[in-house]
Amino acid sequence: MPPAVELTVSELREALRQAGPEAATPGPTALLGRIFHETVASLLAGPQAWDAVLDRDSLDDVATLIRHAYERHLGPRLAAHEADLQDRGSEVVFTWEAVKSFCAWLSRLLEAAREQGWFESRRWLVSEQRLAREFHRPGWRAPIRLVGRADCVLRDPGSGRLLVVEFKLGAGTEEADLGQAALYQLLLDASGDVALVRFRPEVVEQHVAARDLQQAQEHLLELAARLAGVAAPAPPSPQAYDELGKKLIRALESYGLKASLAGPPVIGPSIVRFALQPGRGVIVKRIVARAEDVGVQLGITAPLIQVEGKRLVADLERPDREVVPFSRIEEALPRPDPLEGSALVPLGVDLDNRVGAFSLADPDSPHLLVAGTTGSGKTEWLRSAVAALLLSNTPETLRLVLIDPKYSSFQELAGSPYLWHPQALVYPPERDPAEELDRLIEEMEARFERFREGGDTDLAGWRARTGRPLARLVAIVDEFGDLMADRRTARAFEDRVARLGAKARAAGIHLVLATQHPDAKTLTGRLRANLPARVSFRTASWQESMVALKARGAERLLGKGDLLFSLKGTLRRYQAALLSEEERRRIFRGA
């Protein structure tokens, strides 16, 4: 996870002040506000400060406290800034009256503390308490470390309940002042209440219960995320792409293809999808065929124009393309179930900005093909899929076999308890991947024997009957094209995949095969028949797209995580999440 971004409560208060209405009655200058707070802090600097002034039998001797406040604290500070305050006579008087009001307020507080039996405790009041806490919310690119200094914290010695007290000079801005106090309460103890005490110069107190602060505090954290630059950007307005839609229509018309926009665009992280209504007599195939020419006219990667359902749609690259952080995926993951684990594999974020996923436990998608040329995002997606599986499982519900010809895709998982066995991270040609596949076949048959003994038909039934976990096994081959390039290994590899593909799902064993070259030689018909779920990133040609997806389109993807998911003849487009190096190390090395 990236390091936390530090933000102060004062910075947040200033943002609230600027966003809100002006104070009805402006208070003294910032200098006098600081002098007031320094004076108050000095008077609250622990029981010894007032013990030296007030006799414990006469805690209501306000006059003595006022004289002490002026002679020892306020007076010397005013004298030190005499030149700056020369023309601020009325404001100095205002501040002096506020200090006197504070002394009366403090005297009443001390008397109440004695009546409650708090007074002898040296911890019931803390002045100028430094506070810090780290926050992280779904969708943030990094945590926030919020820091500040609360004016006063009162603690009931009996119950331990807290009250955060903020002192304000003058009328101030109520929303900003209360927001500041609410943040201090959140930093200290979310169960505590808040008191806002204004000296203007008479005393005005406002108490707010903890339960009434929760919603406001979440809004304050959203503001903090925006100020710190860690929040996900607000969804763009469809109107922002009106001109792009008009350019698309003009480009089509330049080829004699009349069309109109059928509704507002759909905006995904990477693309803008426009629904098109062809003009009378215009053949849809002619519009589809002009995609590359339209892209040249618009100065973008050739759009993907296709019929989806009963609509003709055109996917155009967003000029302000967004990166999807892995935190979007992480926040959508289920918590690890100690018995069932999770077979969900996140795909990315779709055009409606929702996280999409498929399940390896589904009979329609037990094994997966991943295709895509260099730079398309294939290996990065494999890593994020593994990271998601690790976060939503325990070593008792998930084990991995990782075949990594690149020597770099999964190296941080060496020694991980999630590996099926210590040598389950395989680096061809140092070790033959066929040995691991044979081992998986043996495990598959052994599991079926175990299931038969208990009258079970699959992994789910065995878990339900026994109440014990049995790890789902996921074997990932990052580049199986190398295995298919040699005739001697190709047939043996096909045989093993076919055997596992036919019945391994019921045993809780799954294959994920990836290749840069989804051509007919690498991805034979026999392999395709055993890989029903398909993820394709950008391919080198439409022919490769046809092999990978049984449809054109992957050749016009944008790269960097733009993908098409195919299952049972249906195509859906997603933007894969970016798993940063820091996140990968955190998840893989912590697994």
Read off the pLDDT of residues 492-515 as tens digits, 9 standing for 90 and up: 888 899 999 989 999 999 999 999
Q: Is residue 233 part of a domain?
A: no
- Same domain assignment for residues 61 and 180: yes
Considering the domain architecture, whether residues 153 and 79 belong to the same structural domain is answered as: yes
Q: How far is CA 562 from the centre of its chain?
A: 19
Residue 19 confidence (pLDDT): 61
Is there a single domain that holds both residue 214 and residue 311? no
Same domain assignment for residues 149 and 202: yes
* Statement to judge: residues 464 and 547 lie in one domain: yes
If you average pLDDT over residues 150-159, what whole number do you get? 82
Same domain, yes or no: 521 and 458: yes
Minimum mean pLDDT range among 239-248, 261-270, 484-493: 484-493
Quick: pLDDT tens for 417-462: 999 999 888 887 778 888 889 999 999 999 999 999 999 999 999 9
Residue 408 falls within a domain, yes or no? yes
**pLDDT per position as a tens digit, 165-178:** 889 888 767 777 88
Residue 285 confidence (pLDDT) above 60: yes
CA–CA distance, 567 with 554 (Å, rounded to integer): 15
The CATH number linked to 28 is 3.90.320
Query: Does residue 365 fall inside a structural domain?
Result: yes
End residue of a domain, out of 290, 317, 344: 317
- H/E segment holding residue 131: strand 125-135
Please tell me the predicted confidence (pLDDT) of residue 23.
Answer: 52
State residue 126's pLDDT score.
Answer: 85
Position 374 scores a pLDDT of: 87
For residues 78 and 68, give the distance between their C-alpha atoms in angstroms, rounded to a whole number: 15
Q: How many domains does the chain have?
A: 3
The pLDDT-based confidence of 40 (bands split at 50, 70, 90) is: very high
- Residue 276 in any domain: the answer is yes
Work out the average pLDDT over 262-277: 90
309 plus 432 within the same structural domain: no
Tokens matching residue 281: 């007599």
Answer whether 515's CB lies under 8 Å from 535's CB.
no
What pLDDT, on the 0 to 100 scale, is given for residue 3? 81
pLDDT band at 347 (very low <50, low <70, confident <90, very high): very high
Note the pTM of the prediction, 2 decimals. Answer: 0.63
CB neighbours (10 Å) of residue 171?
Answer: 15
173 and 296 both lie in a single domain: no
What pLDDT was estimated at residue 540?
Answer: 93
Is it the case that residue 538 has pLDDT exceeding 90? yes
Same domain assignment for residues 246 and 199: no
CATH number of the domain bearing residue 378:
3.40.50.300
Q: Which of 193, 210, 228 is the last residue of a domain?
A: 228
Query: How high is the pLDDT of residue 233?
Result: 61
Question: Same structural domain for residues 219 and 312?
Answer: no
In a domain, 548, yes or no: yes
Over residues 321-325, the mean pLDDT reads 82
Between 113 and 94, the more confident residue is 94
**Residue at a domain's end among 173, 208, 228:** 228
Does an H or E element contain 50, and which?
A: helix 47-51
Highest mean pLDDT among 205-209, 248-252, 479-483: 248-252
In this predicted structure, what is the pLDDT of residue 483? Answer: 79
Say yes or no: 15 and 148 in one domain.
yes
* pLDDT reading at 25 higher than 70: no
pLDDT given at position 482? 76
In which domain, by residue range, is 186 found? 5-228
Q: Which residue has the tokens 């009546």?
A: 115
Tell me what pLDDT residue 47 has: 62
Rounded-to-integer distance, Cα 28 and Cα 169, Å: 8
CATH assignment of the domain containing 286: 3.30.980.40
The percent of residues in the chain predicted with pLDDT above 70, rounded, is 94
DSSP state of 337: P
Q: In terms of pLDDT, which residue wins out, 565 or 521?
A: 565
Query: How many whole angstroms separate alpha carbon 21 and alpha carbon 63?
Result: 38
Whether residues 250 and 275 share a domain: the answer is: yes
Q: How high does pLDDT run on average in the chain?
A: 87
